[in-house]
Amino acid sequence: MSARLFPTQEIGSLMKPAWLVKGLRGAELSEGDYAELGRWSKELRLAKEAKRVEELLKAHPGPRRDLELRDLASIHQIRYLEAAGLDFVFDGEVHRAEMYEHPVRNSKGFTFYGHVRSFDNKYYLKAAATSRVGFLRP
């Protein structure tokens, strides 16, 4: 535990970088997206990781490739928060589709009923507890 008087931390998910969002979707990155990847990899000293991201973006989407992309995004987000000087860091939830869906999917006793709008054209899957709720996996 930090002995600092005012330890700092981020309290919610971080916006996923465009190269991750588009990469997972199999969409083409714009020049601006590549420029952003280059700028941040320089800023965060992640040149080797950025090179690997570019290799993966050229590969066909698939579970192993997508997992590696997300892992690289985790490194990116952790380094981002470390560079800001925060005392406690995390990966910005890049492995999650949505904050609640992840733990619910990995628990038992819930039934997903469908999407509910979060804002604008963004949605989350809403589940209800329909039997005894319990831990399944982390």
Partner 1 sequence: MTRDLQAFLTGALPRSEALVEATRGLERKRVTPEACEAQRVEDATAAIELQDAAGLDFISDGQLNWQDLFRPIVEACKGLEGGALTRWFDNNTFYRKPTAVGELALHSGLPHEFFRTRLLNGHAWHVILPGPYTFARAAEGAGHAAGFEERLDATAKLLRQAARWCADRGARHIQFSEPWLVYQPPKKRQLAAAAAAYATVTKGLNADTVLSTYFGDLKGVYPDILDFSVDAIGIDLTATNLSDLKEHDFDKGAVLGVVDGRNSLVETPAEIVALAAEAQDVLDPDFLAIAPTCELELCPRSVADEKVKALGRALELGRESL
Site for partner 1 in 96-125 (CB under 8 A): 100, 113-121, 123-124
Which CB, 21 or 56, lies closer to partner 1? Answer: 21
Torsion angle defined by CA atoms of residues 97, 101, 105 and 111, in that order, rounded to the nearest 10 degrees:
-140
Query: Minimum distance from CB of 110 to partner 1 (Å)?
Result: 11
Q: Are 13 and 96 in contact (CB under 8 A)?
A: yes
Q: Does 90 bind partner 1 (CB under 8 A)?
A: no
Helices 18-25 + 31-43 axis angle, to 10: 130
Work out how close the CB of 125 gets to partner 1 at its nearest, in angstroms, rounded to a whole number. 8
Q: How far apart are CA 40 and CA 20, in angstroms?
A: 13
- Rounded least distance, CB 133 to partner 1, Å: 14
126 makes contact with partner 1 (CB under 8 A): yes
Q: Which residues bind partner 1 (CB under 8 A)?
A: 25, 27, 100, 113-121, 123-124, 126, 128
